[in-house]
Amino acid sequence: MSSLKSPASSLSFEINATEGAARATTLTTRRGVIETPVFMPVGTAGTVKGMRLEELESPDLDARIILGNTYHLWLRPGIETIKECGGLHKFIGWDRALLTDSGGFQVWSLGALRKITEEGTAFRSHVDGSLCFLSPEISMEVQAVLGAEIAMAFDECAPGEASHDEARRSMDLTLRWAQRSKGAFDNLQAEFLPLPSGEGQTGSLRAAGRDAGEPQAEMPALPDRQALFGIIQGASHLDLRRESLERTVEIGFDGYAIGGLSVGEEKHVMMDVIEEVAPRMPADRPRYLMGVGTPEDLIEAVARGIDMFDCVLPTRNGRNGQAFTSRGKLNIKNARYTTDQNPLDQACNCSVCRRHSRAYIRHLYQSGEMLASILLTHHNLAFFLDTMKRVRQAIRSDQFAHFRREYTEQLNSGLEA
């Protein structure tokens, strides 16, 4: 398969196999190799809720990259604290790759509590009610201190049902903010870097190699700087989505993301946007679908050419008593599981499914034991990450169409008694 490298970027990106629009790629960061399609667990406040980092690194999960939220970390503990503690990796104790969002989406989702102007967004902190202000420049500064391998441009999101006019206004603003994000980012990379020598490189690359069985590639020499992704907006309007993509690519980013989906629009609208945008995104850059979705959504988006995903579903739903399984969702609160000796998912080989029964996890949940959330979160993340591993293997062996059909059929076949 052809190898597309971007030597000027702080990422090395290589397409290893394709099947239809689906791609299996190798994305190399200064902190390790990430095989895509990849699912990135969300670590909102510097923690993937309920998960110790050892577990995320264990063969069970082997998460190569996790997310941090700029908005949450900026408000608490605050950027001065994280700076003092040596950046986000050091602060939380994670040597592998990180991606930080820009805070744009979080601030947007505050609804009535925020006011958007050309300059940026003013809002009330959900922590202490104080008046705060976030702009492209401030977001880039905060993300430079956090020090993730991948930072995101500061964007504005339009609601799923936004009219054409409303969506255009929002998209134009996002483009101006993208330009300002890029300018501020480039200045900061020159100012902040290089990082102290020895930071990041060799140990973590050993710790996070390729999928088992994959040949070891020669590690490319990467500049010790962050990468910046641009975000494509335009709500459900396909002409705006195409324009947003074109103009974002003109600014020039290390990778591109589709934002503003999974915000209340119908599922077919989301798939229409992905189908329209993904094949037109630069083939030699990673393609990231933000904040989506269920296992079916992931597979369908991979089939349309997406490489990277993040979503709170496996963690949040786990805490609410829901398990994702190969045969659909399971609600552990259901009385039918009171004496059920089966694991959460008979097809899952995670440490939770190897050891514990549905009956026990249900008992923990009903008793309000924190271990219920921990076990459900662990299994759900294992299920999402294992699904993506199987997707990668399927694309590499030209079996993705077959895999997609079987996986979806099984998902809809219903839970065994």
Helix, coil or strand: residue 252: coil
110 HSE (CA, 13 A, CB side)? 24
Query: Bridge-partner residues for 311, per DSSP?
Result: none
Return the number of the residue (18 or 373) whose C-beta is nearest Zn ion.
373
Phi, psi angle pair for 192, to nearest 5°: -75, -30
Q: Nearest distance from residue 154's CB to Zn ion, in Å?
A: 37
Given the residues 62, 297, 307, 310, the one annotated as active site: 310
Q: Are 107 and 121 in contact (CB under 8 A)?
A: yes
Q: Scanning residues 338 to 357, which ones bind Zn ion (CB under 5 A)?
A: 348, 350, 352-353
Range in contact with Zn ion (rule: CB under 5 A) among 90-98, 134-142, 324-332, 379-387: 379-387
CA Rg value for the chain? 21
Q: Nearest distance from residue 308's CB to Zn ion, in Å?
A: 23
Return the number of the residue (351 or 399) whose C-beta is nearest Zn ion.
351
- Interface with Zn ion (CB under 5 A), residue total 5
Buried b (16+ CB within 10 A) or exposed e, 279-318: eebeeebbbbbbbbbbbbbbbbbbbbbbbbbbbbbbbebb
Q: Nearest distance from residue 48's CB to Zn ion, in Å?
A: 16
398 catalytically annotated: no
- Contacting residues for 322 by C-beta, under 8 A, at least 6 apart: 329, 330, 331, 332, 376, 380
List the alpha helices (DSSP H) in 214-312: 238-251, 267-277, 295-303
Structure tokens at 187: 């200045």
Return the number of the residue (60 or 155) whose C-beta is nearest Zn ion.
60
Considering only residues 319, 379, 392, 404, which one is a binding residue for Zn ion as defined by CB under 5 A? 379
Return the number of the residue (299 or 350) whose C-beta is nearest Zn ion.
350
Return the number of the residue (174 or 380) whose C-beta is nearest Zn ion.
380
Q: Classify strands 287-289 and 255-258 as parallel, antiparallel or unpaired.
A: parallel
Q: Classify strands 287-289 and 308-310 as parallel, antiparallel or unpaired.
A: parallel
332 binds Zn ion (CB under 5 A): no
Q: Nearest distance from residue 378's CB to Zn ion, in Å?
A: 7
Q: Nearest distance from residue 413's CB to Zn ion, in Å?
A: 18
Range in contact with Zn ion (rule: CB under 5 A) among 105-113, 313-321, 357-365, 375-383: 375-383
Distances from the Cα of 387 to the Cαs of 39, 118, 216, 291, 348, in angstroms?
A: 9, 42, 23, 17, 10
Range in contact with Zn ion (rule: CB under 5 A) among 80-88, 145-153, 373-381, 390-398: 373-381
- Neighbouring C-beta atoms of residue 417, cutoff 10 Å: 6
Return the number of the residue (88 or 382) whose C-beta is nearest Zn ion.
382
224 catalytically annotated: no
Range in contact with Zn ion (rule: CB under 5 A) among 3-11, 64-72, 109-117, 371-379: 371-379
Given the residues 60, 95, 101, 155, the one annotated as active site: 101
Return the number of the residue (188 or 376) whose C-beta is nearest Zn ion.
376
Q: Nearest distance from residue 324's CB to Zn ion, in Å?
A: 9
- Neighbouring C-beta atoms of residue 386, cutoff 10 Å: 20
Give the residue from 100, 98, 121 showing the smallest Cα distance to 111.
Answer: 121
Q: Nearest distance from residue 383's CB to Zn ion, in Å?
A: 6
Catalytic residues: 101, 310
Contacts with Zn ion, residue ranges (CB under 5 A): 348, 350, 352-353, 379
